[in-house]
Structure 1
Amino acid sequence: MRRAFLAVGALAVVAGGAAWWLTSPDPVSAAALQGITGDAERGAALFTQAGCASCHLAPEAEEDGPPMLAGGMAFETQFGTFYAPNISPGQEGVGGWSEADLVNAMAAGISPSGAHYYPALPYTSYQNADPQDLADIAAHLMTLPVADTPSRPHDLSFPFNIRRSLGFWKLLYADRGWVMEAPDTPELERGRYLVEALFHCGQCHTTRTALGGMEFDAWLQGAQNPNGDGRIPGIAPGQLDWSDADIAAYLRTGLTPDYDSVGGHMAAVVRNLATLPDEDIAAIVAYLGAIPAAPE
């Protein structure tokens, strides 16, 4: 009996060690960041395109002038409510973080202390972004006003409040690579970068598994709103009967072909899209026309 207890204890120790190892954070490699220095001026446009302020502005903040990234916006899901944190360059935000710390947060979902971030931060999209672009965003972020509002803790149900378990989630859903594996033209490659990485369109427009991972087989084919209120529309071929010119006009102005106007969170996305040059809008339209169509 004593030997049996010892054997069970040894197995428990081995299993615990394996689980701890499997859930360990996997930061961006030092080699990927070698020689990269952020350019704050270039990062200003990328910051807008990545939609950072769209989530991290305080809910009642004014949108004019440099953004005050105090956080606080609530995102209701079946797992509980996530609150966007303060990411301003002060003590309550990311003050004192290095560019490498910020790149690791955006691309790997890892804090400077080595804790996992929840994928409400769309690092499963940003992980495909160019590390130089992320470093430029980080450099610009450090030029913005400081907010002294403490970040609000997430309100999550058990077991989703166990942050270490995100290591298992990342094994399932992170580092999946590109959805469009081999773009045929430079235009499609640019469109893929904007849609899949920088603008992270799939985070809202793609259905998710019971554990919250994106289902690549239903890429951009629409999804249930995480708060349970309605459905986010699909934007894959066969789901829009708009011309390429209609889609480009919507992305640029927020107006549909029948002169309806964009609303909700998409209004902020359109404001960000409107900063792109025409060739980038055309690349997004080309990409949306080249992905697999939704089933009838």
Structure 2
Amino acid sequence: MGFFDKLAIGVAAMAGAAAVAGWVLSAPQRLDEVTVASLGTGDAARGERIFWAGGCTSCHAKPGSQGEDRLQLAGGVQLKTPFGIFVAPNISQDPADGIGNWSVGDLANAMLKGVSPDGSHFYPAFPYASYARMKSADIADLFAYMKTLPAVPGKAAGHQLSFPFNIRRGLGLWKLLYLSDQPVVSFPEGTDEKILAGRYLVEGPGHCGECHTPRDFIGGPEKSQWLAGAVAAEGQGNVPNITGGEGGIDGWSAGDIAYLLESGFTPDFDSVGGSMVEVQKNMARLAQEDRAAIAAYLKAVPPHANGYPARGQAVGQ
């Protein structure tokens, strides 16, 4: 056997080994049985708080819903991104078109691991990269509350994705890079409990970093620029810097931040716009101490300059 024949066989063997390794590493990872068994039945009253903190209605309510209709979680909202169009699914209690047949373990696996009941990876347009930091008890409470919401028939349309983004298995490798249950911002021992409570709400259920943090070329958050603002996933706009860095909210007090979350008004009497309108409606449903905790955390995070290009500057310059 000649040198080039041996080389070809070696290359083929390495490629085969790499393919097998990739297949193994990309496999969906579920919660262990002990964690699932410990979830319990949850408490619906506590779960309502997590529901609003998690912003479930922002994506899963029928587009344009107002008032109590925002609890009709039929899905259908489209998120148009460079990777394709993601469509929020029906997560109402309809057993055929929604999640009425899900168990509490199914919901926990979806939110903490990004895995569907059939064992497939969810796309991270569903912000499980943030929900992964949530307490399992809060997932159980959320499940109990969602069981009280109406069943809405009608399956939402599927995602519109081209190759290779339509191959879900590859998301397992994405998760190895970006899925973690650890806090993004570390604080020293003795940090005010209000700040730590705010960290949980912002980094976990509130998933603020999903929009306010710039992303790399494969859609992973640039944690070194946490909450520094980002180019909007849709359109040509920017999502604001909400740190104390240049271009951010250094001039805002904690009271200013909490008031915006309650009322929708900035310190200069402007009002929130875009997708933040729905987020603010959700935050207004939280207790005052929760909004104060969020504000305390945002005042304590490391400051960063804007994480998006200046006006008139092309992305990538």
Question: Shared topology, TM-score over 0.5?
Answer: yes
Q: Which residue does the alignment assign to 1:57?
A: 61
2:126 paired residue among 121, 127, 130: 121
1:84-120 residue CA offsets vs partner (Å, 9 max, x unmatched): 0011122111121110001111111100111000000
Does structure 2 conserve the Cα–Cα contact (< 8 Å) formed by 1:191 and 1:287? yes
**Equivalent residue pairs, number:** 296
Matched, 1:79 2:97: no
Does structure 2 conserve the Cα–Cα contact (< 8 Å) formed by 1:106 and 1:126? yes
Matched, 1:151 2:156: yes
Q: CA deviation at 1:154?
A: 0.6
Q: Which residue does the alignment assign to 1:210?
A: 217
Structure 2 gaps, min length 5: 307-317
TM-score normalised to structure 1 length = 0.93
DSSP 3-state at the match of 1:198 = coil
1:254-290 residue CA offsets vs partner (Å, 9 max, x unmatched): 1112211112211111111112222222211111111
What's the Cα RMSD here? 2.0
Q: Which residue does the alignment assign to 2:112?
A: 107
Give the alignment of 1:1-296 within 5 angstroms: 4=6, 10-37=13-40, 38-65=42-69, 67-90=71-94, 91-175=96-180, 177-182=182-187, 184-238=191-245, 239-240=248-249, 241-295=251-305
C-alpha distance in structure 2 between counterparts of 1:188 and 1:30, whole Å: 33
Q: CA deviation at 1:176?
A: 6.1
The code of the aligned residue for 1:17 comes to V
Q: Compared with structure 1, are the counterparts of its residues 72 and 51 closer, same or farther at alpha carbon in structure 2 (3 Å cutoff)?
A: same
1:43-76 residue CA offsets vs partner (Å, 9 max, x unmatched): 1221122111111012143432571111110001
Q: CA deviation at 1:208?
A: 0.4
DSSP 3-state at the match of 2:80 = strand
C-alpha distance in structure 1 between counterparts of 2:50 and 2:225, whole Å: 28
Does structure 1 conserve the Cα–Cα contact (< 8 Å) formed by 2:61 and 2:70? no
Q: Compared with structure 1, are the counterparts of its residues 122 and 89 closer, same or farther at alpha carbon in structure 2 (3 Å cutoff)?
A: same
Q: CA deviation at 1:295?
A: 3.4
Structure 1 stretches (4+) deviating beyond 6 angstroms?
A: none
TM-score normalised to structure 2 length = 0.87
Q: Compared with structure 1, are the counterparts of its residues 88 and 292 closer, same or farther at alpha carbon in structure 2 (3 Å cutoff)?
A: same
Does structure 2 conserve the Cα–Cα contact (< 8 Å) formed by 1:252 and 1:273? yes
Q: CA deviation at 1:151?
A: 2.4
C-alpha distance in structure 2 between counterparts of 1:282 and 1:257, whole Å: 16
Structure 1 gaps, min length 5: none
